[in-house]
């Protein structure tokens, strides 16, 4: 069954600990944390201190998605704050192999994310080194954007490139009860959902609907 990773970017920041606890109770499989530096994307979110603050509220894995131009100096900090997986962008200014090595040095899972216009073929050299590819199905930076349809073709292509390698495919952006089944059919293992999970405050229902997409 597909895994659901609610993005706390859409949560109530005044009570994040309670929100994370509620997501675990509602059936979430992991928590997605969008870290934005105000440079790689035109938005600014939070740093390692927030990750550390909410870590005691859940046993679910944390996937920390670093939308940063230069994530290298922060990898160890996020790892020690409680990240279980650290995902960096292929389009960042840093050397990707070096970033993966830094993540693995902290004994964390490593992920690479790609923007909608980035070809999946550029991931090929790194697939043997990583645990996850995060396909952005919207332009990164803000929640609530509509799903970009050509993302489905990228997921199919990526699935073929991965083959039998132990690399999961995660999809982030515009995920709802309509787009989820198409992503799963294309080959997605994890769906990152922000607005869809949080907008009605009925977290269990929303997560269940997304998971049922894989049963059709």
Question: In the annotation, is 29 catalytic?
Answer: no
Angle at 140 between CA 4 and CA 92, to 5 degrees: 110
Question: In the annotation, is 34 catalytic?
Answer: yes
Catalytic residue among 29, 34, 63, 131: 34
Question: Distance between CA atoms of 67 and 167, rounded to whole angstroms?
Answer: 20
Residue 21's contacts (CB-CB under 8 Å, 6 or more residues apart) are 57, 58
Catalytic residue among 29, 63, 172, 189: 172
Q: Which residues of 169-200 are buried (b: 16+ CB within 10 A; e: fewer)?
A: bbbbbbbbeebbbbbbebbbbbbbbbbbbbee
Catalytic residues: 34, 172
């Amino acid at each position: 069954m597909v895994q659901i990773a609610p993005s706390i970017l859409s949560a109530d920041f005044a009570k994040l600990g309670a929100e994370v606890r509620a997501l675990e109770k509602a059936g979430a499989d992991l928590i997605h944390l969008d870290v934005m530096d105000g440079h790689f994307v035109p938005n600014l979110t939070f740093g390692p201190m927030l990750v550390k603050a909410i870590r005691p509220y859940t046993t679910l894995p944390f996937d920390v998605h670093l939308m940063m131009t230069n994530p290298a100096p922060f990898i160890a900090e996020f790892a020690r704050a409680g990240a279980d997986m650290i995902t960096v962008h292929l389009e960042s200014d840093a050397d990707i192999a070096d970033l993966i090595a830094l993540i693995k040095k902290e004994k964390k899972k490593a992920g690479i994310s790609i923007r909608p216009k980035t070809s999946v073929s550029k991931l090929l050299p790194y697939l043997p080194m990583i645990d996850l590819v995060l396909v952005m199905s919207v332009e990164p930076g803000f929640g609530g954007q509509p799903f970009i349809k050509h993302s489905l073709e990228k997921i199919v292509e990526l699935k073929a490139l991965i083959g039998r390698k132990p690399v999961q495919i995660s999809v982030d952006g515009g995920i709802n009860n309509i787009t989820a089944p198409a992503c799963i059919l294309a080959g997605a293992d994890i769906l990152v959902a922000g607005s869809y999970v949080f907008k009605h405050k009925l977290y269990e229902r929303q997560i269940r609907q997304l998971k049922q997409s894989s049963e059709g």
